[in-house]
Amino acid sequence: MTDLAPSDTVVVTGAAGWLGQNLVRALGDRGRVRCLVASRDEVSPLELVSPSVEVVVGDVRDPATADRLLDGIGGDATVFHAAAIIHPARKVRDLFDVNVGGTQLVLDRARRAGVRRFVHVSSNSPFGANPTPVDRFDERSPYNPYMAYGRSKVEAEGIVRRSHERGDVSAVIVRPPWFYGPFQPERQSQWFRAVRTARFPVVGDGSQRRSMVYAGNLVHGLLRAEVAAAAPGRAWWIADPEPYELREILETVRAALSAEGLEVSGSLRSVPRLVGVVAEKVDGLLQSRGLYQQAVHVLGELKDTIACDVTAAQRELGYAPATTLLDGMRASIRWGLERGMQF
C-alpha cells in the first residue's frame, strides 16, 4: 500500500493549546489550515503563522461551532482533533463534556464533510499504570483507565473506533504520554521553577519510569498518522524512543536549566512512595464527589511507571523521533525565556 500525499486542507481543534500551537506551525505551508480556538484572544498568534491559517472561535461542545468549523471542507481534508481538557478548573464533569461530547460532535461533522482522515489525539491515561516497572504498553494492551480523565479518553477512543468500523470516516488514534516543548502553558513554567529550586519531589526511589514525548517528535508522529497507509483503524503510541526514570527526568531538567544560564539550587529530595499512595486515594475521593485538584492528581501519579513501546509506530508509520530529552527541555526553556517567563 502507498502512503497518501499530505492533505492540502487541514482542520485542527485545540489549535491554541500546547500541542495545537506546535502542530499549526508545522502545517503553516499547507494550502488551508482551519483552526478552532476557544476565545478571541487566541486568534492573532495563529493568524500570524501563515496567510493560509483561518481561525474559528467557539466551544468544541457547541453544535453551531462544529458546523462552522467543518463548513465547506472538502473530501481531501484531514482533521486533527486535539481539543481536550486534561486538568479541569474544578469539576470532573467538564472532562466528559469536552473529551467525549466534543469528540462526538467534531467526528460527526467530519463524517458529513466526507474528510479523508480523522486523527484523534488520545492519551496514556486510558491504560493507567504499568503492572511492573519493566513493562511497557503496546497496541495490544487492555484498557485500565486512571481516574475520570482516563475514563473520558476511553469513551472518546470508543467513539472514534466505532465510527471507523462503520465506515463513517477513516480514523486514526494517536496516544501520546506526558509531553514537553515550546508553547508550554504556565503550569509547565511552574514545574520548571519547582524542579530548579528542588521543590518538586522524587516519589519513592525515583526508579519508576515515564515515557515522555517532545512536542516536535509528537507532531512528526501526527503527520505520519495523517498519511501512512498502515494508520487507519488503529491506535499508535507516539513517544520518545525510550522511557526515562523519574530521577533521570528531574536531573535532566536541572541540567537543561543550568545550560540555559539559570541558577539551580538545592538537591533533589525524596518523599516516601506512601505519599503518592495517599494522594491517589484523596484524588479518587475528590473525583467521586465531582471535584478536581491538580496538585493532588499529579502527586498521586508520580509513584507509578507509565511507559509505552513505540516500536510499531517506528516500523509501520515511519515514526522517527529525533529530539532528545535534554535538547527538548532546553528548547522549551529557551522558548519561555525569550518570552519573559520566570523559571
Q: Would residue 165 count as lying in a domain? A: yes
β-bridge mates for residue 291, sequence order: 91
Residue span of the structural domain in which 159 resides: 9-180+212-240+307-321
Give me 252's grid cell: 535532566
| 317 neighbors 221 (Cβ within 8 angstroms) | yes
Per DSSP bridges, beta strands 212-214 and 235-237 are unpaired
pLDDT tens-digit readout, 114-126: 999 999 999 999 9
Q: Would residue 299 count as lying in a domain? A: no
pLDDT for 207:
95
Give me 132's grid cell: 511492573
| 236 neighbors 124 (Cβ within 8 angstroms) | no
Q: Would residue 283 count as lying in a domain? A: no
| 169 neighbors 232 (Cβ within 8 angstroms) | no
- The CATH number for 81's domain is 3.40.50.720
Residue 188 half-sphere exposure, CB side, CA atoms within 13 Å? Answer: 18
Q: Would residue 281 count as lying in a domain? A: no
Q: Would residue 199 count as lying in a domain? A: no
Q: Would residue 130 count as lying in a domain? A: yes
Give me 282's grid cell: 484523596
Is 180 among the residues known to form the active site? Answer: no
**Identified catalytic residue from 146, 149, 180, 214:** 149
How many structural domains comprise the chain? 1
pLDDT for 28:
82
β-bridge mates for residue 179, sequence order: 213
| 61 neighbors 98 (Cβ within 8 angstroms) | yes
Q: Would residue 120 count as lying in a domain? A: yes
pLDDT for 138:
96
pLDDT tens-digit readout, 217-245: 999 999 999 999 999 999 999 999 999 99
As a whole number of angstroms, the distance between CA 308 and CA 138 comes to: 6
Q: Would residue 264 count as lying in a domain? A: no
- The pLDDT of residue 1 is above 80: no
For the entire predicted model, the pTM comes to 0.96
